[in-house]
Amino acid sequence: MTERKISAANADEQLKQLYQTAFPENEQIPWDDLMRLVEEMYLDFTAYYDGDTLIGFTIVYPRKSFNWYWYFAVREELRGKGLGQHILTQLIEKYKGQSCVLDMESPEQHPCPNPEQRQRRRAFYLRNGFRDTHVYRRYDDIEMTIMMMGKGSFTLEDWDEITNELRQHWTWEEQ
């Protein structure tokens, strides 16, 4: 598996399509805005390939207090084959010794359209050393839980800090 650093200049239609199909629309930043943020916020946008075949991508917002694993996607037809595990292992190694956080659809939200997927995703991150911070936020009708790896804790104040940093570059309508 090879890694390629992605910028607005080399992001292709395959990456865009994966982004637009892997995440619910209300969790997406419009593609053109995301490409601008990759440059302005110095986001670590990495694509993973087997030869010329795109496997998936990650977008990390490197910060002083913690790294925000913002987006992580594997092509649907390649899921369940250990490739996501391989990507996450590489990502953890890349940011070794640093605290990392991510948000994911909460498996505690009931009802929800994808409870099994949420439980599998949570178990995946727990197996890989993340812990549930018991901090929850909402995007429209989706409850998100924050998972963390490394030292320290994550609070609602941390959430506000990171969203305020994002608002310096991009704004959205709150529900």
- Establish if 144 belongs to a structural domain: yes
Query: What CATH number should be reported for the domain holding residue 134?
Result: 3.40.630.30
Which residue range is the domain that position 36 belongs to?
2-167
- Establish if 24 belongs to a structural domain: yes
Average pLDDT for residues 57-76, to the nearest whole number?
Answer: 94
Model confidence, pTM:
0.89
* Residue 12 confidence (pLDDT) above 90: yes
pLDDT in tens, 113-129: 788 888 998 999 999 99
Q: What is the DSSP letter of 28?
A: P
- Establish if 10 belongs to a structural domain: yes
- Establish if 48 belongs to a structural domain: yes
Torsion of CA 132, 117, 85, 126, to 10 degrees: 20
- Establish if 174 belongs to a structural domain: no
Backbone φ and ψ for 153, nearest 5 degrees, come out as -135, 170
pLDDT in tens, 129-170: 999 999 988 877 888 899 999 999 999 899 889 888 888 887
- Establish if 49 belongs to a structural domain: yes
Number of domains in the chain: 1
Q: What is the pLDDT of residue 137?
A: 85
* CA separation, residue 61 to residues 43, 65, 72, 124, 138 (Å): 5, 11, 12, 21, 20
Q: What is the pLDDT of residue 175?
A: 40
